[in-house]
Structure 1
């Protein structure tokens, strides 16, 4: 499954958002997201199979966390846009700073 398909599902995005704050076991995710255990596990399996999350066994618990390098196809697609937007925002910041310096000098 490609990264765009993974990200298309709003429930999977909610799971990813929850894991963005740190690792979590299934039970904690169920509670935080108000989802059933089976639905949460289903989406975690898809995310794990896609390489977006990793899992480690901690006694009876499975603890999930975001992968270090998830969704390479999404990142490859968005990177040129991000660079362009960043350059534009950097230039805007420079112009605003110049304008402020000019008004402070007056």
Structure 2
């Protein structure tokens, strides 16, 4: 008797790609290795049915006081959770990586 084993895609932080568009950095869980080759394209077309397995894990957005924000800096969001303002992009990227790790350990 032959067992029918289905290949499961790992659900982990190793399958996350960060798309950096300057003032917005988006962390995407992309389980398909072919799709992961161009994460910017996936983000631009995320509502297409072929990307239904893709998830937005977290996002870091730059805010400016001179554009009406209460502060100048970065905010990292994961789900409905928003972090405290972060001064630099480097620190925001580090926090984004922490959010990615936390997302998969919840």
TM-score, with normalisation over the residues of structure 1? Answer: 0.24
Asked which structure has the greater CA Rg, the reply is 1
Which structure shows the bigger proportion of residues in helix conformation? Answer: 1
TM-score, with normalisation over the residues of structure 2? Answer: 0.24
